[in-house]
């Protein structure tokens, strides 16, 4: 591969990555297509909570948290269909796209937890130690 070919390839790869980032950012700002209430029910029905916890907080065995701030909807559904690691795959025949969109809406609706400073008992402890 010549130097100019490598430069062109790098430029194209950089442009493609930039477009993907812009698309992902746009996807995050659009309102969820699914329904969060139905999504919570589906999260329980399909057993997602068994590994990820009832509020998608993950667990101590390295199972990742899914909320707050979930992956973009398309990325999450893509991962559900073709996961890596220990997670089983869920085809559209097992977990329909509408249910997957509802699960994403549920995950997107979960607020971030309070910081230690916002919890009186923890705030008092951290203030005393200073």
Identify which has the larger pLDDT, 31 or 60. Answer: 60
Would you state the pLDDT for residue 9?
57
Identify which has the larger pLDDT, 19 or 52. Answer: 52
* 5-22 core/surface letters (b: 16 or more CB in 10 A; e: else): eeeeeeeeeeeeeeeeee
Same structural domain for residues 25 and 37? no
Pairwise CA distance, residues 33 & 55, whole Å: 20
The total of structural domains in the chain comes to: 2
pTM of the model: 0.67
Would you state the pLDDT for residue 125?
83
The two structure tokens encoding residue 7: 């430069």
Any idea what the CATH number is for the domain that residue 56 is in? 1.10.760.10
Would you state the pLDDT for residue 82?
96
Same structural domain for residues 49 and 87? yes
Would you state the pLDDT for residue 61?
84
Residue 126 located in a structural domain: no
Tell me which of 5-14, 64-73, 119-128 is least confident: 5-14
Mean pLDDT of the chain, nearest integer? 83
Same structural domain for residues 21 and 80? no
């Amino acid at each position: 591969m010549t130097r100019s070919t490598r430069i062109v390839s790098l430029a194209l790869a950089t442009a493609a990555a930039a477009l993907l980032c812009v698309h992902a950012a746009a996807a995050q700002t659009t309102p969820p297509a699914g329904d969060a209430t139905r999504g919570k029910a589906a999260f329980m029905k399909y057993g997602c909570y068994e590994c990820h916890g009832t509020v998608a907080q993950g667990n101590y065995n390295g199972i990742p948290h899914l909320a707050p701030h979930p992956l973009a909807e398309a990325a999450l559904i893509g991962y559900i269909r073709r996961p890596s690691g220990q997670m089983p795959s869920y085809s559209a025949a097992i977990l329909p796209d509408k249910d997957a969109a509802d699960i994403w809406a549920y995950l997107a609706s979960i607020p971030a937890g309070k910081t230690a400073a916002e919890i009186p008992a923890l705030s008092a402890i951290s203030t005393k130690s200073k």
